[in-house]
Structure 1
Amino acid sequence: MIEPFANNHQSMQIGELVIENQEDKIIIYGDVELTLDASGYQQAQQLHKLTTEIMQAFQTRDFSRDIPHNLYSNNEVKSKENDDQSGKNIDNPFL
């Protein structure tokens, strides 16, 4: 299990669902099939634990007084700093 927003190097997988941890965001992509059997139950438990820990991370930072202004404006700057894209327009090499 990852520790939400604690570092930039943890990741985990539930089924084909990939969860990447960063200090300013958590990236989730892929899919997971929750089948009505023991495997589906285990995956559902992992999802529940993960979302509970993410919500606890938000609650410990008490964003209730910051919403909506600081929550979005602060993360926007941090996310752009960590983005792989330079923000510059480049020529399409396929044209």
Structure 2
Amino acid sequence: MIEPFANNHQSMQIGELVIENQQDKITIYGDIDVTFDAAGHHQAQQLHELTTKIMQAFDNGLLYSNNEAKSKENDDQSDKNIDNPFL
């Protein structure tokens, strides 16, 4: 399990859902089918634990004290215009 907003190198996966940890954000992408069986129950527990830890980080103010370190360089979107290689 990751420690939300604690570092820029942790990640985890629940089903096909990928969770990437950074100091100023948590990036979540992919999809998950939580089935009504033991495997689905385990995945639901993991999701619950993750969201609980994220909310605890907000409650502790960790995110708000870390405004100077932004991970813009790690964003998927760039501010630069590039030529389309498919044209």
Shorter-chain TM-score above 0.5 = yes
Whether 1:80 and 2:76 are equivalent positions in the alignment is: no
Name the CA distance, whole Å, in 2 between partners of 1:60 and 1:45.
Answer: 22
Number of aligned positions between the proteins: 85
Find the structure with the greater CA-based Rg: 1
- Cα deviation, residue 90, structure 1: 1.8
- Cα deviation, residue 84, structure 1: 5.6
Give the alignment's Cα RMSD to 1 decimal: 2.3
Deviation digits for residues 23-53 of structure 1, max 9, x if unmatched?
A: 0100001111111111100100000000000
Q: TM-score, normalised by structure 2?
A: 0.83
Name the CA distance, whole Å, in 1 between partners of 2:14 and 2:25.
Answer: 18
What are the ranges of 5 or more consecutive residues in structure 1 without an aligned counterpart?
67-73
- Cα deviation, residue 80, structure 1: 2.3
Give the number of the structure with larger relative contact order, counting CA–CA contacts within 8 Å between residues 6 or more apart: 2
Name the CA distance, whole Å, in 2 between partners of 1:62 and 1:43.
Answer: 26
- Cα deviation, residue 86, structure 1: 4.3
Specify which structure has the higher proportion of helix. 1
Deviation digits for residues 33-80 of structure 1, max 9, x if unmatched?
A: 1111111001000000000000000110088xx8xxxxxxx58x8242
Which residue in the other structure is 1:57 paired with? 57
Runs of 4+ aligned residues of structure 1 deviating over 2 Å after TM superposition are 79-86
Which residue in the other structure is 1:69 paired with? none
